[in-house]
Homo-oligomer: A and B are copies of this chain.
Amino acid sequence: MTTAKRDTYTPETLLSVAVQVFIERGYDGTSMEHLSKAAGISKSSIYHHVSGKEELLRRAVSRALDGLFAILDEEPARAGRAVQRLEYVVQRMVEVLISELPYVTLLLRVRGNTGTERWALERRRDFDHRVAALLKAAAADGDVRGDVEVRLATRLVFGMINSIVEWYRPDGRGMGEREVSEAVARLVFSGLRQA
C-alpha cells in the first residue's frame, strides 16, 4: 500500500481533525485556512466533502448528541423502575462521554452564535429535560430523596458528569471508562459516606 495520505481522506477523518482544531482555537476562531493546514489538504478538497465549517460543526455535535439520545432508546433506559432507568442512563452518559470525548467536549463548549450552535443547545436542553423527567418520576416513586429540588439535582449531576471532559485523557495509563462510569453511578446514587 503506497497510497498517499491525502488519497485516503474520508469525511470521517476530516471530521476528527476539524473537531481537534475547533476545541483548540474555538469554533469562532477557526477559519477554513486553519482546517486546511491541520488536515494537510487544500481548501477545495475540504469543500469537496463539506459545504464549510458550519457543516463540520453540525456533524461533530450530531455525533455527540446522537450518542447521548441513543441511550434513552436502550432497553434498560425504557423498562423498569424510574430510579433504575436513571442509574442506567447516568452510567451510560459517562461511557458515551468517554468514548466520544472530543465530540462531547465540543458540544459542551457550544455557545450559540450560529444557527447550528443554537440548534445544538436546543437538543442539549431536550436531553437534559428527558433526564430531569426520569429523576422526577423516581422522586414520585419515593425512590429518590425529596429534599433536593429536581432541577437543581439534575444540574449538579450533569455538572459532575460533564466535568469529566476537563481531565479525562484516553492515554491508556489512566482510569478506564468502566471505572469512571461506576464511580459516578456510586457517588450520584449512594454518595461518599460509608453506609
A99 to chain B, nearest CB (A): 18
In the complex, the count of this chain's copies comes to: 2
A38 to chain B, nearest CB (A): 20
CB-CB under 8 A for A193 and B156, given A148-B183, A148-B186, A148-B187: no
A145 to chain B, nearest CB (A): 5
A112 to chain B, nearest CB (A): 14
Number of interface residues of A (CB under 8 A): 40
Q: Which residue of B lies closest to A151 (CB)?
A: B175
Which residues 163-188 of A sit at the B interface, judged by CB distance below 8 A?
163-164, 166-167, 175, 179-180, 183-184, 186-188
B183 near A192: Cβ-Cβ < 8 Å: no
Contacts of A40 in B (CB 8 A): none
A152 near B166: Cβ-Cβ < 8 Å: no
A113 to chain B, nearest CB (A): 14
Contacts of A11 in B (CB 8 A): none
Q: Which residue of B lies closest to A175 (CB)?
A: B152
Which residues 133-164 of A sit at the B interface, judged by CB distance below 8 A?
135, 138, 142-149, 152-153, 155-164
Contacts of A193 in B (CB 8 A): 83, 143-145, 189-190
